[in-house]
Chain A
């Protein structure tokens, strides 16, 4: 017994070190963002003399991060709204409506889950170019919806499968149409799953760089992550401004994480226990 207690403490030390190693890069970046260029060149490790927001302001305004930020917010908000709407409609139908071929369709959607974007990006870019959707918000939104819809449907179908059929039957007897059941019963009941899937999709879309790089070639349409990659070349001699840009892109994620860690973890693990 004392042996296991000792082992626990022996294990705890490297784990604490690892936790520090996980946090330190973020602390370092924040500290750099607060420094002046001169301070950074002289000593990159010392704490910033004062909390200076100049670099953040510079990155936000003159570097153009505000524009990229707005692009990201618009695209992510529309993508997530569409994903939740289409995903919950499909999930409800697959889980709670009886029709021929429903299980085959579910399997087909599951198969689509395993097509990585890299495998379809060349023809998809061509389709988007042919339809004039390339370099437009709708084009990028559609690309995100297509990318994350199979996953969304999969999670929402599993969630709706756990809703007792009696609830649906009772709502029908009360005179609801199928659409009424979807809108008045299934959407509210699905709120926890919608939140979880919504947050996860928001992170996926916010964090993406490849799809955005492919679908939004022009500079003013850049999303935030593509904006960060472009900073690297432009500000290679002004590291504090570069770090500020990185920070601007990371802070929304940190805030979401602090409040919704549980929901994110639920979404990530949803497929693992059911197999």
Chain B
């Protein structure tokens, strides 16, 4: 059966690929190759189909569904088109407004979250005493789950916990790190920075590895101070790495703090630690308002697009001025 169908196809295949098949020395490989040439045209399809199906079906299609969904109603109005109602509801919801305000805070803190690992990486690169150890130590919290980090800091930041005991020893009164609405968001963001600066540090170190060492030597010969070397040699040479770290750190702040908020504060006290991703989760999982949650998702997506594009734009321009 196989032989029959093969031989019936053969002339066609031979005709189209004759030029390639002709120089083949022995018959058996040539035949295998000819049969292969049909399977081969399909090979990219076969190899890519599962991945493409999954990505289209479970990432791109849900994105379209979600945006579409955000214009429909919840509860009684399930499935009805309601225009921008959900978005208006969002803007009127104090919890979502807090979430947006907290995003603003994250954007403001972003330069700090980038500068700290950048400086530390510089010192490690310049081989401060103990530089071999630091990289391994600093990077470790970055591979721990936010859940574990959050759980540990629940213990450390408890009102009667170690940090307050330490501060008490220094004569600084106890701070209700996770219970005071004015403090809690800073505590959560601080823990996030503590847990993730190692990630950016490793990226910076990879950037340093590509740095032209003759530039540094030249700076040393010219008697440049450390701040001068950082500002005039290292920062311009690493502009691409810095740009990468800015964007990935911002994405991390917007999309990987759920675990921390969930474990450390559950959005409290008084909703002060809400972030858009936590808001989406609450509306979807707890309040059963999927359409409103979709609107919040779409808003989060827009925020990410705007922030990401703005950053790339700003950094490009800054890079050009140098």
- Give chain A's interface secondary structure class: helix
Q: Within 8 Å of chain A (Cβ to Cβ): is B40?
A: yes
A86–B62 CA distance with the chains assembled, in angstroms? 20
| Residue numbers in A under 8 Å from B140 (CB-CB) | 22, 254, 257
B202 touches A22 (CB 8 A): no
Among candidates A12, A116, A153, residue contacting B251 with C-beta atoms closer than 8 Å: A116
Q: Within 8 Å of chain A (Cβ to Cβ): is B128?
A: yes
- What is the count of residue pairs linking A and B with beta-carbon distances less than 8 angstroms? 270
B138 touches A19 (CB 8 A): yes
Q: Within 8 Å of chain B (Cβ to Cβ): is A249?
A: yes
| Residue numbers in A under 8 Å from B81 (CB-CB) | none
Which residues 115-135 of A have a CB within 8 angstroms of B? 115-127
Q: Within 8 Å of chain A (Cβ to Cβ): is B314?
A: no
A11–B143 CA distance with the chains assembled, in angstroms? 26
1/0 per residue A257-275: CB within 8 Å of B?
1000100110011011101
A123 touches B48 (CB 8 A): no
- Write the nearest CB–CB distance from A233 to chain B, whole angstroms: 10
Q: Within 8 Å of chain A (Cβ to Cβ): is B186?
A: no
- Write the nearest CB–CB distance from B213 to chain A, whole angstroms: 16
B47 touches A206 (CB 8 A): no
| Residue numbers in B under 8 Å from A120 (CB-CB) | 58-59, 62-63, 66, 297
- Write the nearest CB–CB distance from B190 to chain A, whole angstroms: 12
B145 touches A119 (CB 8 A): no
Which residues 87-126 of B have a CB within 8 angstroms of A? 120, 123, 126
B51 touches A149 (CB 8 A): yes
1/0 per residue A132-149: CB within 8 Å of B?
000000000011011101
Q: A12-B128, A109-B55, A127-B58 are in contact. Are A29 and B155 (CB under 8 A)?
A: yes
A169–B225 CA distance with the chains assembled, in angstroms? 54
Q: Which one of A53-61, A88-96, A190-198 is at the B interface?
A: A88-96
A126–B245 CA distance with the chains assembled, in angstroms? 34
A118 touches B258 (CB 8 A): yes
Number of B positions contacting A (CB below 8 A): 92
Q: Within 8 Å of chain B (Cβ to Cβ): is A161?
A: no
Q: A22-B141, A273-B207 are in contact. Are A153 and B226 (CB under 8 A)?
A: no
A209–B47 CA distance with the chains assembled, in angstroms? 31
Q: Within 8 Å of chain A (Cβ to Cβ): is B171?
A: no
Q: Within 8 Å of chain A (Cβ to Cβ): is B161?
A: yes
B294 touches A249 (CB 8 A): no
B43 touches A126 (CB 8 A): no
- Write the nearest CB–CB distance from B68 to chain A, whole angstroms: 9
Q: A122-B66, A124-B62, A271-B244 are in contact. Are A209 and B262 (CB under 8 A)?
A: yes
Q: Within 8 Å of chain B (Cβ to Cβ): is A78?
A: no
Nearest-CB residue, chain B, relative to A16 = B130
Q: Within 8 Å of chain B (Cβ to Cβ): is A229?
A: yes
B146 touches A209 (CB 8 A): yes
A58–B1 CA distance with the chains assembled, in angstroms? 65
Q: Within 8 Å of chain B (Cβ to Cβ): is A216?
A: no
Among candidates A125, A149, A177, residue contacting B284 with C-beta atoms closer than 8 Å: A125
30 pairs, A vs B, C-beta closer than 8 Å: A8-B128, A15-B123, A15-B134, A16-B130, A18-B120, A22-B194, A29-B152, A45-B165, A87-B51, A93-B44, A93-B47, A115-B59, A115-B63, A117-B255, A118-B276, A118-B280, A120-B62, A124-B58, A127-B62, A150-B55, A177-B39, A179-B39, A179-B43, A182-B47, A206-B145, A214-B281, A225-B145, A232-B263, A243-B155, A272-B244
Other CB < 8 Å A-B pairs besides A112-B59, A207-B146, A265-B202, 13 of them? A15-B130, A23-B137, A29-B155, A45-B165, A115-B301, A116-B277, A147-B59, A149-B54, A178-B39, A231-B151, A239-B155, A246-B148, A264-B139
Interfacial residues, chain B to chain A (CB-CB below 8 A): 29, 32-33, 36, 39-40, 43-44, 46-48, 50-52, 54-55, 57-63, 65-66, 69, 120, 123, 126-130, 133-134, 136-141, 143-148, 151-156, 161-162, 165, 194, 199, 202-203, 205-207, 210, 225-226, 240-241, 244-245, 251, 254-255, 258-259, 262-263, 276-277, 280-281, 284-285, 290, 293-294, 297-298, 300-301, 304, 308
What 8 pairs across the A-B complex have the smallest Cβ distances? Answer: A207-B145, A146-B58, A269-B206, A123-B65, A120-B62, A93-B47, A123-B62, A178-B43
